[in-house]
Amino acid sequence: MYFKMNKSLLIIILALCFTRVYAQNNNWCFVYDMNQPIPLYKSLEDTTILSYLYQDTIKENYYSLQILDEKNDRFLVSIFDQNNLKGTNWIEKKYCNVWCWMMSSSSIYLFSAPDTSSQCIEIFEYDMIRNQEGFVANIIGVDKGTDWIKILIITKTSEYAGWTLNYCNNIYGSCEGWKATSPSNIYKR
């Protein structure tokens, strides 16, 4: 009985740890281009396509990507389908996305470095281009060991790149409850 109880407790603790790691790490993203073949490569230097990733809206077969490494214009990613590992390949950064999590001011801050004391710009919702479920940004870098990501936002008037904590990497677009701190409390200026 003691062993069964300890085993159950261990399973619960591991499940909670995995959930926390997935929810708080900046190394998850998704492919927003639906029903289009997205090229995958065996190695960083490959120019020959190994296979394709296909976000299928008809069969509702969606993939999440865990970023393992980054070099030049590519990420090395593990590809997951409903928590099942499907493979590890290189993908061009231009296909990797996150949702922008708008603050209560209907804006998002982009910082020049992964640090709230660095210079920043504020991009307002009215200038952003809305996709079906919200605002999608291209992830172009990660700061290992923190929650910061570097994103590229294309607006109606310009392009902006910078570091942020205001994002959601859930392909289904639900940022509700993703972080304990609401975005409006992350940056106190």
User: Is pLDDT above 90 for 107?
Assistant: no
In Å, how far are 8, 84, 163 from 111, measured between CA atoms?
43, 34, 5
Banded pLDDT at 150 (limits 50, 70, 90): very high
Average pLDDT, the chain: 79
Residue 185 binned pLDDT confidence (cut-offs 50, 70, 90): very low
pLDDT at 101: 81
Q: Which domains does the chain have, with CATH numbers?
A: 28-95 (2.30.30), 97-186 (2.30.30.40)
Give every CB contact of residue 182 below 8 A, 6+ residues apart in sequence: 104
Burial of 131-164, coded b for 16+ CB within 10 Å and e otherwise, reads eeebbbbbbbbbeeeebbbbbbbeeeeeebebbb
Closest listed residue to residue 81, CA positions, set 59, 97, 98, 99: 59
Please tell me which residue, 67 or 188, carries the higher pLDDT value.
Answer: 67
pLDDT of residue 15: 36
Q: What pLDDT was estimated at residue 100?
A: 86
pTM of the model: 0.78
Q: Which residue has the higher pLDDT, 56 or 178?
A: 56
Mean pLDDT to the nearest integer, 160-178: 76
CA distance 39 to 20: 30
Please tell me which residue, 81 or 23, carries the higher pLDDT value: 81
* Residue 76: partners with Cβ closer than 8 Å, 6 or more residues away: 44, 67, 68, 69, 70, 88, 89, 90
> In this predicted structure, what is the pLDDT of residue 3?
43
- Looking at residue 187, what is its pLDDT? 56
Task: Give 10-69 pLDDT, tens digit per residue.
Answer: 333 333 333 333 444 678 899 988 899 999 999 999 999 999 999 888 888 888 999 999
Higher local confidence (pLDDT), 128 or 6: 128
pLDDT tens-digit profile of 118-137? 999 999 988 888 877 778 89
